[in-house]
């Protein structure tokens, strides 16, 4: 099951107790998943649980028999809920989707709804037109509609709730999306997807931990490369001195340092310093090795 499907399954188990909230959720479902033509409203979804929730919400508003539910002929098909004739007129009137006597699948101003109804509208919007990427790969939650005014209404609502939403056009559709992980988690919690929200947080924490470990490994690898390159340069200089003027020509502290480096090519400067008697620090070791390299460079 995709992560978006998990969210929708979770949302369909959420109870909308207040009539106003059920109306707000149904309004969003009708607008995001519905099409209206020739006196007939059709609400389509790939999810059986969403279709069942639509039927329940419609029955609460219109009474039993107010809609017809058609299951797909194959497993991967569309579930279709249809409302026709007088029932459709009553529905649009109840949802305030008439403007100047014409049906428009876009509410007037959802940002002015009460707090509970804003949440319900967002829940319906996700059930009707929402999707989310696998958080293991990418942080991206979106709502898709072919209705430009509806996309604007949703964007305004998310903006009013301080969500960092953006809007774009993809082919013939308008997409309202959020990519910030913390905002996505907050939105999931707000609309009632508590289980998926916790799973999202767990995945987010694991990803951040993996990234931290990878950065540390890369940093350690880079440091090791630097140590190896420096050691190689130092050993080449020491070998040149041994072949030409010999270690006896060096001051005792440099001769001792040269011998230690040859015996311990893999050691860091700090580790080399600890072998000396008395021990010296990293900067002292570096100074002696650089002096050896200068002598070799002059030969």
Residues, the chain, total? Answer: 299
Place of tokens 């030969």: 299
Residues of the chain with pLDDT under 70: 76, 217-221, 223
Name 174's bridge partners.
145, 169
Q: Would you state the pLDDT for residue 220?
A: 62
C-alpha span between 80 and 68 (Å, rounded): 8
Contacts with 272 (C-beta within 8 Å, 6 or more apart), sequence order: 257, 260, 261, 264, 285
What are the structure tokens assigned to 174, written together? Answer: 């308008």
Rg (C-alpha) for the chain, rounded Å, is 34
For residue 55, CA distances in Å to 34, 36, 40, 65, 270 come to 13, 17, 15, 10, 73
3-state secondary structure of 245: coil
Q: Would you state the pLDDT for residue 188?
A: 94
Q: Would you state the pLDDT for residue 130?
A: 96
Top-level CATH class of 3-192?
A: alpha beta
Contacts with 225 (C-beta within 8 Å, 6 or more apart), sequence order: none
Q: Would you state the pLDDT for residue 218?
A: 67
161-166 long-range Cβ contacts below 8 angstroms, 24+ apart: 161/118, 161/190, 163/187
Other beta carbons within 10 angstroms of residue 138's beta carbon come to: 9
What are the residue boundaries of the structural domains of the chain, listed by start? 3-192, 227-297
Name 102's bridge partners.
99
* DSSP class per residue in 211-240: HHHHHHHHHHHHHHHHHHHHHHHHHHHHHH
**Predicted confidence (pLDDT) per residue in 178-194, tens digit:** 999 999 999 999 999 99
C-alpha span between 238 and 244 (Å, rounded): 10
3-state secondary structure of 71: coil
For residue 162, CA distances in Å to 131, 156, 178 come to 20, 10, 12
What are the structure tokens assigned to 103, written together? Answer: 């049906």
Instruction: Give the single-character DSSP code of 177.
Output: E
């Amino acid at each position: 099951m995709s992560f978006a499907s998990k969210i929708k399954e979770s949302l369909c188990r959420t109870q909308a107790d207040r009539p106003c909230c059920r109306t707000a959720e149904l309004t969003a479902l009708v607008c995001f998943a519905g099409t209206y033509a020739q006196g007939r409203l059709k609400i389509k979804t790939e999810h059986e649980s969403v279709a069942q929730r639509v039927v329940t919400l419609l029955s609460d508003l219109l009474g039993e028999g107010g809609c017809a539910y058609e299951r797909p002929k194959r497993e991967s098909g569309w579930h279709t809920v249809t409302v026709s004739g007088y029932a459709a007129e009553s529905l649009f009137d109840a949802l305030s989707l008439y403007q100047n006597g014409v049906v428009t699948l876009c509410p007037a101003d959802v940002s002015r709804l009460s707090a509970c109804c804003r949440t319900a509208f967002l829940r319906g919007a996700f059930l009707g037109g929402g999707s989310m990427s696998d958080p293991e790969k990418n942080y991206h939650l979106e709502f898709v509609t072919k209705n430009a005014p509806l996309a604007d209404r949703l964007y305004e609502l998310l903006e009013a709730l301080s969500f960092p939403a953006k809007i774009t056009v993809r082919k013939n559709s308008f997409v309202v999306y959020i990519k910030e992980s913390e905002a996505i988690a907050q939105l999931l919690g707000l609309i009632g997807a508590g289980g998926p929200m916790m799973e999202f947080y767990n995945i987010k924490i694991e990803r951040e931990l993996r990234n931290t470990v990878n950065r540390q490994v890369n940093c350690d690898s880079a440091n090791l490369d630097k140590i190896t390159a420096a050691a190689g340069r130092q050993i080449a200089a020491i070998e040149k001195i041994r072949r030409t003027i010999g270690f006896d020509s060096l001051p005792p502290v440099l001769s001792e340092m040269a011998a230690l480096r040859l015996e311990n090519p893999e050691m860091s400067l700090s580790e080399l310093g600890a072998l000396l008697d008395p021990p010296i620090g990293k900067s002292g070791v570096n100074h002696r090795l650089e002096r050896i390299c200068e002598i070799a460079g002059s030969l």
